[in-house]
A and B are shown apart, each in its own frame.
Chain A
């Protein structure tokens, strides 16, 4: 047998030796040229990349543009400086940023935990009202929280009178609201994942001497880390990015979240144009924790998203 390289790409193996007819076998030949086989998918990928990078590039370049107005913004800035970052960090922004982080981390962590508890119960125990409970959680989730905003405002106005610490103009009140909002979808997502963990493990642990709590913390939670990562991340992003309810609830400058605060910078038509650079710089800074969290949780997320999607 002799293998001869072919410059066009495909190799040919020619049988040499005994037997008169030498048959030529072509390896790696496929119909069509390179573009039709592989190239087009690269093209689609590049287009998608450009499409998603464009706004990011625009915001980053606006943030670096020292002139800092919307009208002077260009996709590729002619001059670059960190003036906008310096300016925004010296104002109220650090406070807003901290508020956003606090709400994001707390609401993500707490809603993750509450949902995990609920999902564990729904997945593992059989009790009266289980079906009704699951359906109720799903149905309530169908209505956007925004529908209830008037009612919520009235409720929280009353709470403010009785207990200002968790009322309007307090991030604790807002946190409470976010926790309730995320519960439904997270519970369903997690229950789907919990159901894929064999019940034998619980039973084995129970026979080994574990209580329900020990089964939950010692056996189940370590095994559902992917879905915890996903719900945690989604919860964090949702809380950090949430604007509508936050803008109604938080009016004092000191309790604003970054989303509400940054909006304030460009809300006034008089100053909107001039503050655009600051706004962009704030947006870039605000993106940092989310990106960092993504990086940190990446290895769980890929498994978690697919597992939750397919099995849930």
Chain B
């Protein structure tokens, strides 16, 4: 067990591609850190540098109290779970799990004990004699986990270990891996591009974009106060709604103009975000999460200056909530960050269907809105997010 510290770690490939830029991460002993980001953001490269499978161009990497920059993988006391599982096809499950121990010339009895303990933990006991090709995807995943567990290493590294499983199994394994990590209390770095995995599994999330770390923090903190437009759009499902609005100074306080709607901003909003006053008369990117909007007919106490009007284009009843799609007549936010988000969601080629910006809200199931209805939507103004459309950064203080 050990802490892992990355200090200004860079990865520069010979062809000039700067995969990881000045990455600073401080992962505490026993912590579960999820490294998340769109494909090609450098998260896997960062993990592979920790594993010793890629050279570190500049910077220092410490595991425990050792600088391991030039140490080979075998001497770093780490275990890694690969996306492809990378099970040795010619070995039985037991041999696969025991391989790392055999290489370390461990006592045979000790090996057998450890293999059985790991197999028991993962419910693999009855499969020990099988070959990997005789196993299902979920079982293979467990063997890959077993191979890591049995080594009792200082650090677990996991490179998208669940992405080859089907949705249901993924949810189950997600919980199991998180449980095992908690039981064993081993420092873990987990790479994924799935924001749900990131939110649910990690003690902390580190979000990367194009080789640069965007924000580190516990999942709820990142969800509640994203540092920039990219983080806001990446974390959360459905993604945060964003549109261009403008802040104005009215007679009684500050106003937010969002298309044809005008919302008053309570004092507390400005008290929490002193810098917002400086944006009076300027455009800002306004973000609002789907759960922070409600059908105004259900929220009768919502002030009239906290509502926007829109026509419903689509409703999806999920039972616990109704997902309502509508269009706000304010311009879309178009910055480098939103382009990156569209690229990741593969929506960049979709035609701009309508004027304005599509929003998605989650209403209480009692709501009776139907497609085509003109409705009023009550917005929780305290929970609005404001970003500078030039710098992409959150407007706070």
Contacts and interface: CB of A to CB of B under 8 A. Distances in A.
Interface of A: 198, 200-201, 203-211, 214, 218-219, 222-223
Interface centre among A204, A205, A219, A223 (most CB of B within 10 A): A204
Contacts, number: 57
B88 interface: yes
B103 A207 contact: no
Given A207-B80, A209-B74, A211-B74, A201 B88 contact: yes
Interface residues of B, number: 23
B73 interface: yes
9 contacts: A203-B53, A203-B73, A204-B147, A205-B99, A207-B51, A207-B74, A208-B147, A219-B88, A223-B90
Contacts of B263: none
Contacts of A223: 89-90
B95 to A, nearest CB: 10
B142 interface: no
Interface in B69-94: 72-74, 78-80, 82-84, 86, 88-90
A231 B86 CA distance: 27
Interface string B260-283: 000000000000000000000000
Nearest to A198: B84
Q: Is the interface of A mostly helix, strand, loop or mixed?
A: helix
A300 to B, nearest CB: 13
A206 B72 contact: yes
Contacts of A222: 90
B178 to A, nearest CB: 22
Nearest to A206: B73
Contacts of A203: 51, 53, 73, 80, 82, 86
Given A198-B84, A200-B84, A207 B53 contact: yes
Contacts of B51: 203, 207
Nearest to A208: B100
Given A207-B157, A209-B104, 13 more contacts: A198-B84, A203-B51, A203-B80, A204-B80, A205-B88, A206-B53, A206-B72, A207-B73, A208-B79, A208-B147, A209-B100, A219-B88, A223-B89
B82 A208 contact: no
B193 interface: no
B151 interface: yes
A214 B151 CA distance: 18
A212 to B, nearest CB: 10
List the 8 closest pairs (A to B, CB-CB), nearest first.
A208-B100, A200-B86, A204-B86, A209-B74, A209-B103, A222-B90, A207-B80, A206-B73
Contact of A207 (B79, B88, B104): B79
